[in-house]
Amino acid sequence: MRGEPGDARTIAWGLTNRGRFPVRVREVQIDWDPEAAAKPIWVVGAMSYTGHLVTGSVQDNPYDENSYILVPVADLVVPPERESRRTDSSPYSRTFSSAESYGLIARYSFDGSGISSLGRVTIRYTYLGLPLTAQRHFEVDE
């Protein structure tokens, strides 16, 4: 992704828990290529109750508060995939386990001109009380 000084961009990752028990996200760290001009501003957790994927909602309109709810990363709990599918989506029954889509949304800015396309996201989480870490490399398309 190409940027100029002062530009800001938003990126999102979907989260799916294919395990049998809830996953509690503890910390998220984004590392860009050392040559990159981009620096993270913030990272938050997101939950969608509308049937839209968090990643798709961010791409369509990153500021549409009706598509997803933002929560601090340390408060994000992702239930097992089968438990997160519920039919009652009234505002009064919204809980972590009733969301239809989960994800992480990051906002970053450019300190200088350049292309920032390669990076790594590190997610520290607990599963059954055990501290675990997942790392994924990513590439941002123009």
pTM, two decimals, is: 0.74
CATH number of 2-139: 2.60.40
Going from the C-alpha of 4 to that of each of 1, 9, 36, 116, the distances in angstroms are: 10, 11, 12, 11
Six-digit token pair at 105?
């949304």
Predicted confidence (pLDDT) per residue in 46-78, tens digit: 888 777 777 765 655 555 566 678 889 999 999
The residue extents of the domains of the chain are 2-139
pLDDT at 63: 53
* Segment of 30-34, 43-47, 67-71 carrying the highest mean pLDDT: 43-47
At residue 80, φ and ψ (nearest 5 deg) are -55, 150
Q: How large is the average pLDDT for residues 27-43?
A: 76
Six-digit token pair at 17?
């828990």
